[in-house]
Structure 1
Amino acid sequence: MTKIQFKKEKISVQNINRMRFWIGILAGLVSAISISLFFNLSRETFRFLTSISADLLILKENELLFFNFFFSFLSAVLGLSITIWIWMQNKKHNRPKDRIYKNLSVTNALLIFWVILMVLSRFGSILPIVLFGAPGYDNHLNLYEEYWILFVLMPIVVFMQSWFAVRLVYQAGSWIFLSFLCCLLTAFMLQLTTAVNQDELNSVYHLRFHKDYNYIDHELTIAKGKYGVSFDNHTIEVLKKRETESSIQQIVSVKKAFSYDMPVTMDTIILQKIIIRNYKKGSWSFFRRNSIENWPYALPIDILKQLDYFDPNSNQAIELCDILKEMIDLVNTPEIHWEECQNFTETERRRSFGAKYHIPDPLIEQLKDVRERLLEDDRYADFSNDFNAINDRE
């Protein structure tokens, strides 16, 4: 009479086959390292692509550490899936259904491996291109703060799912615990060895706008030392952004402050001077061509109105006149021909293009009128003579 064994055996190196065991370990480790490198390099690649059309996505220290560990732990458990896939292809069957269960384990390991990679590849490519790279994006979707639990659960689910079908063949309680410890150890090693330093890309990006940042830091230092005006970190951070929603709102708020029938504060004046100097984008709307509404900054006539609120020799009056000087310099920005573009900075090219195409004619006429009125006013004789003549457009 044939003896049929129904009890599951404990998983062991002998049941798997010693050669297959070590091949599985090696393949899993190589897979984990490769996947971790792929995740980290892909993240930096997509960050670079988003910086072309929008502000560079810069992760905070805690966010960067969290996602580095997520990539490392997920890579480790995906490597475990490859290991189990190789282990369960052994031909030693102790029970009638072992062949079916092992085929199920092999299929399950490959399925969970490719499904997770497909999901991450799909969402990891769509979000940077469609959302993070869109002009105006300002961290509206904070994955770290709002959906951190998903990133914690995903590696755990992959780990448990990888062992699910194996337990139909073997008793694997101790091996599950040991493999979990090995995955944790591997994740820590991957985080230390395969993580990509985001400061390298950040430095390259900041180099594109180093003149903007240097000017901002210089003016803020002068404002604090000369006028006792200081700005909070959030205001400075927004001031250094290009096309985020908060940056646009800051520019709109500063312009509105000049239009009110009340004196503006010194910090608002400093902000307006910096914004004009760096020629920041100030609106998503575009009115008819040569409409003065297309001008995103304070109008010259509003600056003239503000001058009436202050003593001509006051610090506010001096800075208001500096704003007019920055406007004149912007209007007079010479054209940069395309064959010479590489010889100029990002800001210089942006100012040149804007001066030629985006400054409305009524604004230039208003600026000329304000300049003439200040030149004729003896109260501003000390610094109005520094106003350069406004060039006519060709």
Structure 2
Amino acid sequence: MAVKFRKEKISIQNIGKQRFWIGIILGLFSAIIISLTFSYFRELFRFFTTLSADLLILEKSELQFYNYFFSSLATILGLSITVAIWMTNNNHKRRKDKIHKQLSRTNIYFTFWLILMMIARFGSVLPFILYGMPGYDNQLNLFEEYWLLFVLIPIVVFAQNWFIVRLVYHSAKWIFYSILICVAITFTLKTTTSINQEILNRAYYKKFESDYNYIDQQINKAKVEYGIDFKENTLETLKKWKTESSTKQVVNLKSAFSKDKKVSLDTIILQKIVIKNFKENGRYFRRNSIDNWRYAFPKDILRQLELYDIKSNESKELIEILKEQIYLINTPEIDWKEYDKHTDTEIRKSFGVKYNVPKQIIEQLEKVRDSLINDNKYYEISKDLPELKQRNE
């Protein structure tokens, strides 16, 4: 019997008509399922970041890139299933064809599960050890720093699918056609299976809607009444809670008031917003430690009042800071059974004031309030300062 050494061209006849269409259908079905899984788990991944950090919100270009990446990867993994099924045919024209087909299937399945395991591992670890950690502030941007890796992964998997197949068949045309089909399916999956991240974004925004509205209101007031324009990154930081830039902002504002020099009006306004929204600096000390107070000390605010003219805008806003501090300390305690009736910030205030406002601050604030009201110079601007309520220990 003559032994054939030449490879045959890959064809539906050599694969088997039934096996060919089963491979196509299962491959396409797998691609759709994998793409949907990637999309839903990515949103679940983003949701988990909110448990201990700020919501991970992707920029438009970054979101588009990841949508195309996961759609293309799902498409290529679907192709892996298709090619693996095609290689189960028993039509062996040469002695080594059977070995090469087995090797091809083994190679494809190994790569298939390796990629899924890698995605699952990163998807389960990153939300907790990086993106979900308090203080994360985009220090590691995978899109900007490792975009080439994301581009290469689908290409390598695609090449891996066809590499050993070429030991069995001449398949140059099919490889070319599969590239075109994969590109078309990638665009289709990107359009049909990608989840709109605005759904989760809006839910997260709703959680802090009153805080964001207050920020917008005060920023607009500063622009209209005082002609102050805040930088965009300052506003973005104001609307974050646990990032490194947010905690630094809280620390720096407090530090600005502790110095023996005038504090600018924009800094005063920022301090008022930070107190109103009960922003934290991520540092906690023993109970009743004065270091737990994250904002300007009342005595420092009084010193600033003495540095400015009584009728100045700065004095007006400094009094507003004292009001916000009093409102904060007067925050009523909320029973956990009533949590569903209150905003996240109201709950944080209630809990934070109970455990993290030292007695020294309450006493200091009361003294400052009394001294202003009893001083004829400051009486007119301070007469509306509310009284401090006694809290039950």
Q: Shorter chain as normaliser: what TM range?
A: over 0.9
Deviation of 1:287 after TM superposition, in Å, equals: 2.8
Which residue is 1:234 aligned to?
233
Which residue is 1:310 aligned to?
308
Instruction: Tell me the secondary structure at the aligned position of residue 260 of structure 1.
Output: coil
Q: Distance in 2 between matches of 1:8 and 1:129?
A: 51
Which of 328, 332, 337 is residue 339 of structure 1 equivalent to? 337
Alignment of 1:208-357 (within 5 A): 208-284=207-283, 286-357=284-355
Unaligned runs of 5+ in 1: none
Q: Distance in 2 between matches of 1:361 and 1:380?
A: 25
Which residue is 1:4 aligned to?
3
Q: Distance in 2 between matches of 1:110 and 1:292?
A: 60
Deviation of 1:234 after TM superposition, in Å, equals: 0.5
Q: Does the CA contact (< 8 Å) of 2:287 and 2:355 recur in 1?
A: no
Which residue is 2:385 aligned to?
387
Deviation of 1:257 after TM superposition, in Å, equals: 0.8
Which residue is 1:45 aligned to?
44
Q: Distance in 2 between matches of 1:301 and 1:331?
A: 16
Q: Does the CA contact (< 8 Å) of 1:283 and 1:296 recur in 2?
A: no
Which residue is 2:365 aligned to?
367
Q: Does the CA contact (< 8 Å) of 2:277 and 2:345 recur in 1?
A: yes
Q: Distance in 1 between matches of 2:141 and 2:344?
A: 29
**Root mean square deviation of aligned Cα:** 0.8
Q: Distance in 1 between matches of 2:287 and 2:333?
A: 20
Q: Does the CA contact (< 8 Å) of 2:207 and 2:343 recur in 1?
A: yes
Matched, 1:110 2:113: no
- Any idea what the Cα deviations from partners look like across 1:146-187, whole Å, max 9, x if unmatched? 111110000000000010110110011111111111111110
Q: Distance in 2 between matches of 1:254 and 1:230?
A: 18
Alignment of 1:60-79 (within 5 A): 60-79=59-78
TM-score, structure 2 length as denominator? 0.98
Q: Distance in 2 between matches of 1:148 and 1:75?
A: 17
TM-score, structure 1 length as denominator? 0.98
Structure 1: 4+ residue segments shifted above 3 A: none
Q: Does the CA contact (< 8 Å) of 2:208 and 2:345 recur in 1?
A: yes
Q: Distance in 2 between matches of 1:288 and 1:173?
A: 70
Q: Does the CA contact (< 8 Å) of 1:136 and 1:244 recur in 2?
A: yes
Q: Distance in 1 between matches of 2:278 and 2:194?
A: 36
Q: Does the CA contact (< 8 Å) of 1:56 and 1:205 recur in 2?
A: yes
Alignment of 1:9-20 (within 5 A): 9-20=8-19
Q: Distance in 2 between matches of 1:302 and 1:69?
A: 53
Counting aligned pairs with the same residue, the percent is 56
Instruction: Tell me the secondary structure at the aligned position of residue 213 of structure 2.
Output: helix
Deviation of 1:3 after TM superposition, in Å, equals: 0.7
Instruction: Tell me the secondary structure at the aligned position of residue 334 of structure 2.
Output: coil
Q: Distance in 2 between matches of 1:303 and 1:129?
A: 39
- Any idea what the Cα deviations from partners look like across 1:356-381, whole Å, max 9, x if unmatched? 11100001111011111101111222
Deviates more, 1:318-327 or 1:16-25: 16-25
The amino acid that maps onto 1:335 is E
Deviation of 1:339 after TM superposition, in Å, equals: 1.5
Q: Distance in 2 between matches of 1:60 and 1:364?
A: 43
Deviation of 1:343 after TM superposition, in Å, equals: 0.9
Which residue is 2:170 aligned to?
171
Q: Does the CA contact (< 8 Å) of 2:242 and 2:282 recur in 1?
A: no
Q: Distance in 2 between matches of 1:56 and 1:339?
A: 26
Instruction: Tell me the secondary structure at the aligned position of residue 51 of structure 2.
Output: helix
Deviation of 1:393 after TM superposition, in Å, equals: 2.2
